Amino acid sequence: MTFINEPALELRRAEVRDRATAALADLDARLPIDVPVLIDGRPAPGTPFDSVDPGNPATVVARVQGASAAQADTAVAAAAAAYPEWSARTGHERAEIVRRAAALLRSNRLGAAALAVRECGKPWADADADVCEAIDFLEYYANGAAAMDDGQPLLQMPGERNALRYVGRGVTAVIAPWNFPLAIATGMVSAALVTGNTVVFKPAEQAPACARLVVDALHAAGVPHGALALLPGGDEPGKALVAHPGVHTIAFTGSCAAGLSILETAARLAPGQRHIKRVVAEMGGKNCVVVDEDADLDDAVPGIVASAFAFAGQKCSAASRVLVHEAIADDLIERLSGAIATLQVGPAEDFATDVPPVIDREAQERVASYVDKGGAPAAQAPAAGDAAADGGPAVSSDGYYARPTLFVDLPEDHPVVTEEIFGPVLAVQRVPSIDAACEIVDAGTFALTGGIYSRSPRTIESFVRRSPVGNVYVNQPITGAMVGRQPFGGGRLSGTGPKAGGPDYLLQFVEARSVSEDTVRHGLVV
């Protein structure tokens, strides 16, 4: 089947906004959502905790049962028991189930987006894009699994038949983040399932209701209950899965520190383990935008602002550094400062909001600590609770809000410049040349996304050739990778390399087996 990206909603249209508002009201009437431990289709109790709206923490979005290490062990056993039947199905059969899950998400598109708005503080445009990407992953990976099922062409010789087949590896542990609670979770889970693996899914504790929506859609589409378990909770179930000898593959998206710990643990052979675990990890970045002296600032300024401050900078692809040619640095800084000062900080459900709250109190305090370290900022957006820039009413400051902040000319070794903040903080530094900017980028430990604004084809070609990052953007924002169009993933400390939403991603979840048969008759069977 031909793959086409799911089109975004036209939120500029009043009738679309009205439908979105109605979907959110319907969700609010049903809160809180119950999220149990779910193993082999049977809900189980755990350690209770709540998931809350980061824009209004008094609103409980989900009542959650946190899983234990013992329940992780039970879930792996159930997934292992379900593996023979699920893996025996053809890739085409599994692909059809995954496509049905995409159709179910599409039919509940506004409801799913509303849940991301409420549980994770995603503004409507970002929440809708999250649903679109989840649908895209399901359909793209379904196509890939069906093609994989047809096998690879091999050299054939007279009297010999050769075939290469792909089979699932076994039980996959999926450990997903909160910032793309639908898309990334769906992508990792569906990639494992559609290639014949069974899955134990441990979502971020900030997004359990979104995780249940994903699991429910896949079960309703036909994924056997034993083949997909849900373990909400904190670190305990995740650590147990990583160390478990029955887990064959670990798909993880999150912080560099957590990813490195997973890689270290997974490399150790546990008692009874007869396989080498494979880790598919995406671990964030410290992403730079380079601005050449001939750049069109009418393009660069809005592109940088969108890359740095959309969803409060809580994207692993978000821009956190700008390296600008000194010849135009003052002009860029002035225009960025003016743009940032007009950003509206507010609740995610408000269609006028530019920058929503960060995910929780810990994130809010982390961002505030970096702002304090940075000293006097060059520019800041009005804080939630301040009067709006247009003279309108102030936004409530009850949520976990962080002010978009710009720093200029900090030292090269300053924490704001070198460390991943995962919040709405941007550092601008002057460089004498694009070559100097390339050297700075190349010296970094992360290599996820990056971009350049320039009108010179030669400069662009040189930058693209020298850039170590996994996703390079030219004269456009550096966030918003589209499935099938911009396969996503980085190197160095940004991850283990496979590109989500690309043609090689499914290969991480399978083993290749070669079969060679002598077809010359050696007598008759009597």
The residues annotated with a catalytic role in the active site are 282, 316
Q: Which residues contact 333 (CB under 8 A, 6 or more apart)?
A: 324, 378, 406, 408, 428
Rounded Cα gap, residues 161 and 149, in angstroms: 17
Rounded Cα gap, residues 251 and 175, in angstroms: 6
| CA distances (Å), origin 264, targets 148, 252, 279 | 31, 13, 10
Pick from 103, 72, 75, 94: which is nearest to 510 by CA? Answer: 94
User: Token match 């600032």: residue?
Assistant: 297
Pick from 177, 182, 421, 184: which is nearest to 312 by CA? Answer: 421
Rounded Cα gap, residues 496 and 93, in angstroms: 30
Rounded Cα gap, residues 426 and 413, in angstroms: 15
Residue 406 φ then ψ, to 5°:
-115, 130
Q: How many residues does the chain have?
A: 526
User: Token match 């793209």: residue?
Assistant: 140
Rounded Cα gap, residues 454 and 474, in angstroms: 8
Rounded Cα gap, residues 123 and 314, in angstroms: 12
> 52: which strand partners?
60
The token pair at 255 is 């912080």
Amino acid at 267: A
User: Token match 């670990």: residue?
Assistant: 250
Q: How buried is 224 (Cβ within 10 angstroms: 0-12 exposed, 13-18 middle, 19+ buried)?
A: middle
- Yes or no: say if 356 and 347 are a contact pair by the CB < 8 Å rule: yes
Amino acid at 261: S
User: Token match 């400051």: residue?
Assistant: 397
Strands 42-44 and 37-39: antiparallel
Q: How far is CA 156 from the centre of its chain?
A: 42
- Yes or no: say if 404 and 311 are a contact pair by the CB < 8 Å rule: no
